[in-house]
Amino acid sequence: MLRLFGRCFLVVLAALLGCGGSSGAPVFVRASLASHRFTLANGLDVVLHPDPSFRSVAVNMRYDVGSRNDPEGRTGLAHLVEHLTFRGKPDGKLDTFSLLEERGSTEHNATTSTDATCYFETVPSEELPLALFIEAFRMARPLDGVDEPVFAAETHVVRNERRERVDNVPYGNLDDLATYLLFDGHAYGRPTVGFAEDLDRLTLADARKFVAQYYRPNNATLVIAGGFEPRRATELVHELFDAIPGAPIPAANAVQWASLGREPVHATMATGADAPAVALGWVVPAAGALGWHEMVLTAEMFGGWTKYRMGDKVRRIWTEVSSMEQVSVFMVRAELNAGASPDELIANIDREIELFADTGEDVRLGGEKSRLLAQRTLALEDIEHRAGILQTYVARYGNPDSIQAELHEFSVVSRRDIADNVERFLQTGRRVRVDAVPRPGAPKAGTWPTIGGRP
């Protein structure tokens, strides 16, 4: 059950939202995600988080496999496999989506990221046996019902997804190119959706080999959260998953900071968009590691000064930290208006970095901490999101009940901490810059230069 301690939660929330002026203002929130955790003999990690205030239950299965595990020349395979696993018919009649919808599921989907593939569904509490049966079926027979015609059809769906998300979007290749250059060809730099030419060469044999290697109980974590009886849930987990065998899992290719290169990179791509755009990227600490909390808060505040100085020359600017298990990426992306200079933008961004390194942007830090803590605490009211957070904390910290520790780490960040980490990672760290420059006839997404054998 989610526990919020101290004064009434609404009072705590009001205090959070109101203490915006100074980084020295106290920001307190006490929370706990109490759970029971156990491991099956085959290696499946199980987390139970009962909360009787819900009439539904969220089931979240995370496999420790993502785009970083795509074989060389086979980018997009992890994401394609995610699609294929929904084509099976657990009851012999209906596919997974149809079966869940028939039984009242309010949410069911999956995501593939750099590090992981997650499957999740929220069902009425009485349908927990069905949800667990579906996930056990997926684990034991991940490509059930997938023959060559089905494989071809789903590959076509993924190609269309790439076109919709990347190829037909202005500056669609911008972030992908910056990330690829940042990691010097390491698997962390591969786009999750895959390169177009790699998708064309994927085979059903590739998918079968992939699931045999990674879709194993000892490579997975199962979270059950919401309205359910823990003893019955434990019995169901044993009944449905005990017989699925584990197997050795291939070692992941670790990111070595020292091997990523030290020299800054500046690349240019032609775009059919009507104005220039710029992406800047840096490697920063892994999710939860020393310095990560400071860089997340920096991203929340960054860009405002540059936007102010550039005025109507900037169409939009945003900053984010892509949090990953081995390292993370701090990315600044700006779309300019026609005629604006990318070099002027970079000069203003560099000035903002200097400002953060000198002062830590004390004026806004307290407000950003309050907003972030309130946002993360409020999100726990949704049981599906709560199950996902439990998964995240298992991967990030090794402990599903890490909400209090993480909120504390954010709350104690000082302006000096911000300044020190901005200097370390943004001022002295290696930077990749990619300019998207308008050129008549160029694709909207931007051309991808031939680098290291990639298009």
We report the CATH number of the domain holding residue 338 as 3.30.830.10
Percent of the chain with pLDDT over 90: 76
Condensed to tens digits (0 to 9), the pLDDT of residues 67-79 reads: 999 999 999 999 9
Residue 401 has φ and ψ, to the nearest 5°, of: -95, 65
Residue 191 has pLDDT above 80, yes or no: yes
The alpha-carbon radius of gyration of the chain (Å, integer) is 23
Residues 81 and 150 in one domain: yes
Residue 455 has pLDDT above 60, yes or no: no
- How much is the pLDDT for 307? 87
Residues 137 and 100 in one domain: yes
pLDDT band at 135 (very low <50, low <70, confident <90, very high): very high
pTM of the model: 0.92
Residues 21 and 63 in one domain: no
Mean pLDDT of 325-352: 94
Residues 215 and 296 in one domain: no
Q: Which helix (H) or strand (E) holds 61?
A: strand 56-63
pLDDT band at 96 (very low <50, low <70, confident <90, very high): confident
Count of domains in the chain? 2
Indicate the average pLDDT of the chain. Answer: 90
Residues 212 and 304 in one domain: no
**Residue ranges making up the domain that contains 391:** 2-30+273-438
In this structure, is residue 369 part of a structural domain?
yes
DSSP code for 255: -
The vertex-233 CA angle with 230 and 115, nearest 5°, equals 105
Q: Which of 225, 241, 257 is the last residue of a domain?
A: 241
Q: How far is CA 298 from CA 128, 133, 230, 289, in A?
A: 41, 43, 41, 15
By the 10 Å C-beta count (0-12 exposed, 13-18 middle, 19+ buried), 206 is classed as middle
Residues 416 and 277 in one domain: yes
Token pair in block for residue 400: 């599903």
Report yes or no: 291 and 314 within 8 Å, Cβ to Cβ: no
Rounded Cα distance, 225 and 384, in Å: 8
Determine how β-strand 314-322 pairs with β-strand 327-336.
antiparallel
In this structure, is residue 185 part of a structural domain?
yes
Residues 281 and 366 in one domain: yes
Condensed to tens digits (0 to 9), the pLDDT of residues 25-46 reads: 545 667 889 999 999 999 999 9
Lowest mean pLDDT among 215-224, 296-305, 394-403: 296-305
Token match 């059930």: residue?
A: 144
- How much is the pLDDT for 102? 78
Residue 453 has pLDDT above 50, yes or no: no
